[in-house]
Copies of this chain bind each other. A is one copy, B any other.
Amino acid sequence: MSENFRDTLEAFENTFPDRDYLIEINCPEFTSVCPKTGQPDFGTLTFSYVPDKSVVELKSLKMYLQLFRNEGIFYENVSNRILDDFVAVIQPKQVTLLASFSARGGITSDITCSYQKDA
């Protein structure tokens, strides 16, 4: 399967590692495919993280998210899997991912999941 998506994500060095600061990245052009209906899903992903030694490289994040374009995956799974990939590559002090999907059948869904590095 597509477990090697995370190889696309790149980190670069955080040049202010002694200060805890927040980076919020908003990606309104996420799209994947519903595995049950084959219909495209559309959503906005928002990453809010406190970097440790690494900061995500924005273009690599864009390329990583585009890998899901033709991937069949449920809302809950795509949200948690992207959080896992982000944590594995960037290793932030903490990160929250909010994934807001557009309406299907008159119903919208938002998934919010977080990671906190052990003290």
Contact = CB atoms under 8 A, between A and B. Distances in A.
Interface of A: 14-16, 19, 21-29, 31, 39-40, 42, 51, 55, 58-59, 61-62, 66, 69-70, 76-77, 79-80, 102-114
A69 B70 CA distance: 9
Nearest to A62: B105
A26 B111 contact: no
Nearest to A115: B19
A94 to B, nearest CB: 13
Contacts of A55: 76
A111 B22 contact: yes
B107 A25 contact: yes
